[in-house]
Amino acid sequence: MKLAINGEQKLRTVPFPAYNTIDKQEEEAVLRVLRSGKLSTYIGSWHKDFYGGSEVKALEEEWADFFNVKHAISVNSATSGLYAAIGAIGIEPGDEVIVTPYTMSASATAILLYGGIPVFADVEAEYFCIDPKSIEKLITPKTKAIMAVDLFGQTCDFEELRQIAKKHNLKIIEDAAQAPYGKLGTEFTGTLGDIGVFSLNYHKHIHCGEGGIVVTNDDELAFKIQLIRNHGETVLDAKGYKDKKDLHNMLGFNFRMTEIEAAISRVQLKKLKNLVLERIENVKYLETKLKNLPCLNIPSVRKNSQHVYYVHPLLFNQKNTSLHRNKFIDAVKAELPSTLMREDSPVLLSYGYVKPLYLQPIYQQRVCFGAYPFNLTNRVYKKGDCPTCEDLHFNTLISHEFMRPSMQHKDLDDVVKAFEKVWENKDELI
């Protein structure tokens, strides 16, 4: 016996380095705000501060400039941003929005919040993003939009998505929470649809604890998002809006970002490019070594695009072994240590990603706000709806976060050695 999962020695016990992008610069930014005493200056009625304070406004200007987009609107999370985006495009009860099931749950709950019906399209076997080929057959007269998620940091097939959207008069919301600084040609991920949403939560490439940014080139959509962010219903009779006829979804929320979060985000934005490039470098290093293992396939990156690796996906090659992926990965995990600052989390390696969303109880039982909005549709959600996604999740996809910028070559070498050790000793697992 050699393998740690069978009780033998682990390949490595020294924890992997912590990933912490916060330093003196963020500290100074926070102190600047604290000392000003103005932790937020938002006012929920018609006033210049309806749009937030100086840090919020500066962040929005810098973000728009960086991503070459007309409007950037800060919010307190990407989840809030997705809610505001679905509201802004005018989704009404019973409207259908086509979405990938392989994503964080909020990409679909945003649709439900406005009474919309999430319709799940299958994903691409090669890239794991929503598959344009599976979208067209799901379009009905009720379809109003596509929610495209740049999963793991890979850009969706926007060339195809835009053609479908144009042909059927659909809006595209791009959930780019996992893909800041991704690119398709010269355009940035997040700016490829009608509205894009970024996340600034603790787990993302850059963060301010919790936060999000919504971007759009459309003035009208931008204004609606700003209204939804800050109690929109209170300003509808004010100067500037009372003549508008379209009052759909103008019920507002408090999705406002604080000045502290905005100040931190401004510093983090300056670090984004280098943090992403380090991830790409680390992935390259890992892939040149891992590609020699017969049980692994290295997934492709879409032509003409930049993958930014929120997660680095791998594929388990079942053709070369009778071993199941899960057994293999459990054994690799057993060889590796925890990560500093994330000591309580399991090793940052897993099989699959999140369970395909339509398999969650709320879809299976069609229960949301009571029976609403599922009572507006005959659609049922069942196992087998998206076979490619299910096969990836239950059999072949492997995801890990070892490419995070703090990892050095010697750390990455240990990751590779753990995979190799388990492969060499796989007979112990069969």
**Cβ 427 to ligand PLP, closest distance in Å?**
38
**Cβ 176 to ligand PLP, closest distance in Å?**
8
Here the tokens at position 17 are 């380095």
Q: Which of 30, 177, 225, 235 binds ligand PLP (CB under 6 A)?
A: 177
Instruction: Determine the Cα–Cα distance for residues 380 and 72; give it in Å rounded to an integer.
Output: 37
Q: What is the DSSP string of 368-403?
A: BBBTBTGGG------TTSSHHHHHIIIIIEEEE-TT
Block residue for tokens 């199941």: 324
Q: Which of 41, 74, 107, 258 binds ligand PLP (CB under 6 A)?
A: 107
Q: Does 103 bind ligand PLP (CB under 6 A)?
A: yes
Q: Does 199 bind ligand PLP (CB under 6 A)?
A: yes
Q: Does 77 bind ligand PLP (CB under 6 A)?
A: yes
8 Å CB contact between 86 and 114: yes
Instruction: Determine the Cα–Cα distance for residues 299 and 348; give it in Å rounded to an integer.
Output: 19
Q: Does 189 bind ligand PLP (CB under 6 A)?
A: no
Q: Does 154 bind ligand PLP (CB under 6 A)?
A: no
Q: Of 111-119, 175-183, 226-234, 409-417, which part binds ligand PLP (CB under 6 A)?
A: 175-183
For ligand PLP, the closer of residues 4 and 97 by Cβ is 97
- Residues 6 or more apart from 410 whose CB is under 8 A from it? none
Q: Does 360 bind ligand PLP (CB under 6 A)?
A: no
The Cα-based distances of 111 to 144, 234, 240 in angstroms read: 11, 24, 28
**Cβ 79 to ligand PLP, closest distance in Å?**
3
**Cβ 367 to ligand PLP, closest distance in Å?**
22
DSSP state of 312: E
Q: Of 63-71, 98-106, 237-245, 414-422, which part binds ligand PLP (CB under 6 A)?
A: 98-106
Q: Of 30-38, 171-179, 226-234, 300-308, which part binds ligand PLP (CB under 6 A)?
A: 171-179
Most distant CA atoms of the chain, gap in Å: 77
Q: Does 79 bind ligand PLP (CB under 6 A)?
A: yes
* String marking each residue 375-404 x if it binds ligand PLP according to CB under 6 A: ------------------------------
Q: Which of 59, 85, 89, 104 binds ligand PLP (CB under 6 A)?
A: 104
Q: Does 178 bind ligand PLP (CB under 6 A)?
A: yes
The amino acid occupying position 426 is K
- Residues 6 or more apart from 27 whose CB is under 8 A from it? none
The Cα-based distances of 380 to 267, 363, 384 in angstroms read: 46, 8, 12
Q: Roughly how many angstroms between the first and final C-alpha of the chain, as a whole number?
A: 13
The amino acid occupying position 121 is A
Q: Does 175 bind ligand PLP (CB under 6 A)?
A: yes
Q: Three-state SS for 161?
A: helix
Residues lying near ligand PLP in the complex (CB under 6 A) are found at 77-79, 103-104, 106-107, 149, 175, 177-178, 199, 201, 212
